Amino acid sequence: GAVVSQHPSRVICKSGTSVKIECRSLDFQATTMFWYRQFPKKSLMLMATSNEGSKATYEQGVEKDKFLINHASLTLSTLTVTSAHPEDSSFYICSALDRIYGYTFGSGTRLTVV
Partner 1 sequence: AQKVTQAQTEISVVEKEDVTLDCVYETRDTTYYLFWYKQPPSGELVFLIRRNSFDEQNEISGRYSWNFQKSTSSFNFTITASQVVDSAVYFCALRSGGSYIPTFGRGTSLIVHP
Cβ distance to partner 1 smaller for residue 83 or 107: 107
For partner 1, the binding residues (CB under 8 A) are 1, 32, 34, 41-44, 46, 49, 91, 93, 95, 97, 101-108, 110
Greatest extent of the chain over all pairs of C-alpha atoms, in Å: 41
- Report, in Å, the least distance between residue 103 CB and partner 1: 6
Q: Among residues 49 and 82, whose Cβ is nearest to partner 1?
A: 49
State the nearest-atom distance from the C-beta of 15 to partner 1, in Å: 23
CA–CA separation, 11 vs 8, rounded Å? 7
Which amino acid is residue 7, in one-letter code?
H
Considering beta carbons, is residue 77 or 106 the nearer one to partner 1? Answer: 106
At closest approach, how far in Å is the CB of 9 from partner 1?
A: 8
Q: Rounded distance, CA 51 to CA 71, Å?
A: 6
What is the CA angle 29-96-1, rounded to 5? Answer: 70
18 vs 103 by CB, closer to partner 1: 103
**DSSP states of 75-104:** TEEEEEE-S--GGG-EEEEEEEEETTTEEE
